[in-house]
Amino acid sequence: MNDNHKTKRSFTHDYRQPCIYMITVVVDGRRPILGRLAGSVETAHIELTPLGEDVRHELYALCDRYPQLKLLQYQVMPDHVHVILQATSLLPKPLGSLFSSWKIACGKAYARYGGASAPSQDKPATTEESNADPEALSGGLALAPAYQRLFSEGYNDSILYGPGQLQHMIDYIRDNPRRLMLKRQQNSYFSIKRGISVAGHRLDAVGNINLLQNRLFAVHCRRHWNESQQRDYAAQCLSAANNNSVLIGAFISEHEKNIASKIQEFHLPMIQIVENGFDDLYKPTGQAFYACAEGRLLQLSLWSYHSDRRTVSREQCKAMNTLAETIATIKP
């Protein structure tokens, strides 16, 4: 897979072949002009603007134009769109070409709603723009060009390979409004804190910073341990967690990952040292997202964010484990 800030694309996959894809596109400048979040955590949903309704309509129109495409699931969010598409037979063109035609159709709808009068597409939304009525941002039948770009260049795609992955994709998309509601309600936990001082280091952090005030227990499984030693150590870690210690570690090895999974399963707090830093839009994924929303997670990083996929070096593993052990020695 090739990773950059605009797209994820597999160089070895034929995008004309039958397959299932999850695709994500974002509004230029991340402006919330497609809808507004409504309801409570339990009933969270998106009320679409007229422009958002047109974006939704064009998804169905795309599948009408290309009957080889089946729309399995979608979610129009205020500033981005998730789509799961299935190519049921060989496509006449690569998926990217067909999906680009949908983006063009959305751009034409955007122009009809006076896209030129919306906030600048060259910068992220300001606080005032983000809080503005999305109807106002996308409304108005002012004279406009026939087409104006609505979405940022490119898109992200995930290709379905394994069993159970489709349901995971569907659940993730359906849960997007609730996740957004949780993120807004617990904004302090999801706000990125830059350059905080911890144990003599300047770190970036996401999550509940107050977890550092607890008694800490550093997790570091040794590679030379046998299975019995690994099990005993895991039991020791879980015992510490159940006795009001917060586990801290990089959780890199399989044994350490298993310990972290148990911590999440039992809804216990945890501090994780991570190799990659946090870009401005970062939020934890999967179960870590809900742990963060509930104040049970703190992630720390020594390094700046990078968008490419990297293998964690042995030196970085040592640095992360050493950092965890150093922080754990600090008295709360």
Tokens for 139, please give them: 């409304």
Domains and CATH numbers, the chain: 2-185 (3.30.70.1290), 188-328 (3.40.50.450)
78-82, 126-130, 315-319, 326-330: lowest mean pLDDT where?
Answer: 126-130
pLDDT at res. 179? 94
pLDDT in tens, 215-251: 999 999 998 999 999 999 999 999 999 999 999 999 9
- Average pLDDT, rounded, for the chain: 87
- The answer to whether residue 201 scores a pLDDT higher than 70 is yes
- The answer to whether residue 291 scores a pLDDT higher than 90 is yes
pLDDT in tens, 188-199: 999 999 999 999
pLDDT at res. 115? 73
Distance CA(73)–CA(58), nearest Å, equals 14
pLDDT at res. 331? 63
Asked whether the whole model's pTM tops 0.85, one would answer no
Distance CA(35)–CA(79), nearest Å, equals 8
The structure tokens 């680009």 sit at 100
Distance CA(95)–CA(99), nearest Å, equals 6
Average pLDDT on 105-116 reads 87
- The answer to whether residue 141 scores a pLDDT higher than 50 is no
Compute φ and ψ for 93, nearest 5 degrees: -140, 160
- The answer to whether residue 129 scores a pLDDT higher than 50 is no
Q: Do residues 302 and 276 make contact, with C-beta atoms less than 8 angstroms apart?
A: no
Distance CA(171)–CA(188), nearest Å, equals 26
Distance CA(317)–CA(303), nearest Å, equals 13
**Span between the terminal Cα atoms of the chain, in Å:** 43
